[in-house]
Amino acid sequence: MHQLKPREAATLPRHLLEAHVVALVRQCCPDLRALRAAHARLVRLRLPRLTAVFALSKLLASCGAAASYARNLFDQIPEPTAFCYNSLIRTLSAASGVPAADAVLVYRRLLRAGSPHPNSFTLAFVLKACAAVPALGEGRQLHSQAFRRGLEPSPYVQTGLLNLYAKCEEVALARTVFDGMVGDKNLAAWSAMIGGYSRVGMVNEALRLFREMQSAGVNPDEITMVGVISACAKAGALELGRWVHAFIDRKGITVDLELSTALIDMYAKCGLIERAKGVFDAMVERDTKAWSAMIVGLAIHGLVEDALKLFSRMLEFKVRPNNITFIGVLSACAHSGLVNEGRRHWSTMQELGIKPSMENFGCMVDLFCRSGLLDEAYSFVTSMAIPPNSVIWRTLLVASKNSNRSDIVESASKRLLELEPCNPENYVLLSNLYALNSQWDSVSNMRKKMKEHNVNVVAGCSSIEINGYLHKFVVRDDSHPEIKEIRLLLREIADHVVRAGHKPWTEAVLHDVDEEEKEVALCEHSERLAIAYGLLKTKAPHIIRVAKNLRFCPDCHEVAKIISKSYNREIIVRDRVRFHRFVDGSCSCKDFW
């Protein structure tokens, strides 16, 4: 490209100078060093004022994610246009480590200036920044402003709103935006809505929308498929996940790093850890997320040795671990009571300069509690660098229920109700503690507090996939069309349980009723209903796979062992913490869970 001299620049018409600027900037993208060099060349040309402003705006638009340089350029523009504001907001929303508030602040600066007026692109870029956090409050304010300024019908604004609401798990709002979109919905809109359903575990809705997308003639890409695969992972829908994987292969959709990692996560969470390993081993390139997904997958399956070996391999390959990697490593140690190993890995995390997340602290507390080191757990919690959250206090409280440490119980109970006065799980846990000691007045008092705070108990929910459809059950569920047949089978199971000599753990029923009523309540826990339905609808050697939203009931855990032996069936149950694989009367967790 011809190197202009200052004298030449002074004689050239404005349109030719601007063409030179465009060509020079385009030649440098996306290399920031080259862009800075071009900037220096343009400064040396001593361009006329209007052309200089034009050059700065073009440089600003080409900054990519270089937030600091973009701010510097913007500050040199005397009267920024809407294009300049949009370019800066877009850069800030794309830059890593830059708070979304920065993009919002620039938008507010634009509003205060009074001129120029924001346009649909402005709002779309700010919404993108809000979705990255995600910042629902700011996003809703932007929605109101878009409505007042008549910009809401813009497809860019609608896609931005849809993406924001989907990221914030506000699927009803996202669906309203999606259904109100004018003209044909683009690929980004379909993908965002599918991803929103996926985040909240609405797998049937995600897959139904995926089929509608195909009927509408919109071809999915890897981003769409990540959403669909993630929905299957959340729901534990293995057969659907397999079908989607086959669809990806059949359609020739690019399996990039993110999609490969989603497949690893899906197979691990659906109980097929060998297939997850297969996807991992076939990857040509693996980043931290892929290694972490595999390590976490092995950990939740109780494959502790494999998880720790893979972590060692990760370090040998010079891949830097992150917080999620250590969640897998530390939880693996917790599942097997490897206290010294856990302490060593905690030290490794500090040495690598990784700031522990709340989940990392939680893993260490869990490790100490599972290993009976209650004093060490309490000392660890009270000396944490960040204030412990409710999960950590609950972990301590659960570990304290069979101890005489009333001081820990009192402290943890107080902190829990201060942090989450409206969380039903806290009241259920405390009621459980009182019920274990037959303190029915205290149980009644907990129920009274729940009414005062308008708290409703979250029911245990278990799901099982049969012929590509998820069947969900809650305790004493009468809604299922085949509930009569399920109950008949439950009675048969109860006979097997009695013959096996199992005595029901009626302490799990938090009601002051007689033992017979408690035993009936246990028989219809959600996981038992789902397992019974699996027995009813499938035959050996089909594996019964169940996913539960809460921790496994201890009594149901014992009964599942008996069912696996009596019916000669392999049963895999994923609870909120880990997998339990029942074969011939024993569980993979070795009753350490």
pLDDT per position as a tens digit, 484-503: 999 999 999 999 999 999 98
Dist. CA 571–CA 560, nearest whole Å = 8
* Out of 150-164, 380-394, 504-518, least confident range: 504-518
In this structure, is residue 547 part of a structural domain? yes
| 85, HSE (Cβ side, Cα atoms, 13 Å) | 26
Q: What per-residue confidence (pLDDT) applies to 516?
A: 46
Same domain, 95 and 146: yes
Same domain, 226 and 155: no
Q: What per-residue confidence (pLDDT) applies to 431?
A: 82
Residue from 135, 53, 487 nearest 107 by CA: 135
3-state secondary structure at position 269? helix
Q: Which domain holds residue 532?
A: 461-587
Q: Which of 183, 218, 239 is the last residue of a domain?
A: 183
In this structure, is residue 421 part of a structural domain? no
Q: Above 80 in pLDDT, residue 63?
A: yes
Q: Above 60 in pLDDT, residue 515?
A: no
Same domain, 251 and 153: no
Same domain, 478 and 529: yes
Residue from 255, 253, 183, 275 nearest 545 by CA: 275
Confidence label for 520 from pLDDT (cuts 50, 70 and 90): low
> Higher model confidence: residue 97 or residue 128?
128
Residue 399 contacts residue 377 (beta carbons within 8 Å): yes
pLDDT per position as a tens digit, 524-537: 899 999 999 999 99
pLDDT per position as a tens digit, 568-577: 999 999 998 8
> Higher model confidence: residue 5 or residue 121?
121
In the chain, % of residues over pLDDT 90: 60
Confidence label for 519 from pLDDT (cuts 50, 70 and 90): low
In this structure, is residue 565 part of a structural domain? yes
In 352-460, alpha helices (H): 358-370, 374-382, 390-400, 406-419, 424-436, 440-452
Residue from 307, 271, 270 nearest 292 by CA: 307
Q: What per-residue confidence (pLDDT) applies to 84?
A: 92
Same domain, 124 and 162: yes
In this structure, is residue 505 part of a structural domain? yes
DSSP-derived pairing of the beta strands 544-548 and 571-574: parallel
In this structure, is residue 322 part of a structural domain? no
User: Does an H or E element contain 54, and which?
Assistant: helix 49-61
Confidence label for 301 from pLDDT (cuts 50, 70 and 90): very high
Confidence label for 2 from pLDDT (cuts 50, 70 and 90): low
In this structure, is residue 21 part of a structural domain? yes
Q: Which of 149, 183, 217 is the last residue of a domain?
A: 183
Same domain, 91 and 171: yes
Same domain, 483 and 560: yes
Same domain, 570 and 537: yes
Confidence label for 506 from pLDDT (cuts 50, 70 and 90): low
pTM: 0.79
Average pLDDT score over the chain: 89
Same domain, 477 and 577: yes
Q: What per-residue confidence (pLDDT) applies to 215?
A: 93
Q: What per-residue confidence (pLDDT) applies to 521?
A: 61
**What's the rounded mean pLDDT across residues 231-257?**
92
pLDDT per position as a tens digit, 402-419: 777 878 888 898 898 899
Same domain, 89 and 168: yes
In this structure, is residue 479 part of a structural domain? yes
| 398, HSE (Cβ side, Cα atoms, 13 Å) | 19
Residue from 387, 186, 304, 340 nearest 593 by CA: 304
Q: Which of 183, 218, 249 is the last residue of a domain?
A: 183
Residue 515 contacts residue 438 (beta carbons within 8 Å): no
In this structure, is residue 593 part of a structural domain? no
Dist. CA 406–CA 119, nearest whole Å = 61
**What's the rounded mean pLDDT across residues 169-184?**
93
Structural domains counted in the chain: 4
Q: What per-residue confidence (pLDDT) applies to 512?
A: 41
Q: What per-residue confidence (pLDDT) applies to 577?
A: 87
Place of tokens 């120029």: 116
**What's the rounded mean pLDDT across residues 516-543?**
84
Same domain, 481 and 544: yes
pLDDT per position as a tens digit, 273-285: 999 999 999 999 9
Q: Above 60 in pLDDT, residue 75?
A: yes
Structural tokens at position 415? 């902190």
Q: Above 50 in pLDDT, residue 80?
A: yes
**What's the rounded mean pLDDT across residues 456-476?**
86
Same domain, 21 and 108: no
**What's the rounded mean pLDDT across residues 55-78?**
89
User: Is-cis flag, bond preceding 541, omega within 30?
Assistant: yes
Q: What per-residue confidence (pLDDT) applies to 513?
A: 39
The one-character DSSP state at 66 is: -
Structural tokens at position 270? 């659906």
Q: What per-residue confidence (pLDDT) applies to 378?
A: 95
* Sequence-ordered list of residues with C-beta below 8 angstroms from that of 423, at least 6 positions apart, any chain: 390, 416, 455
> Higher model confidence: residue 98 or residue 563?
563
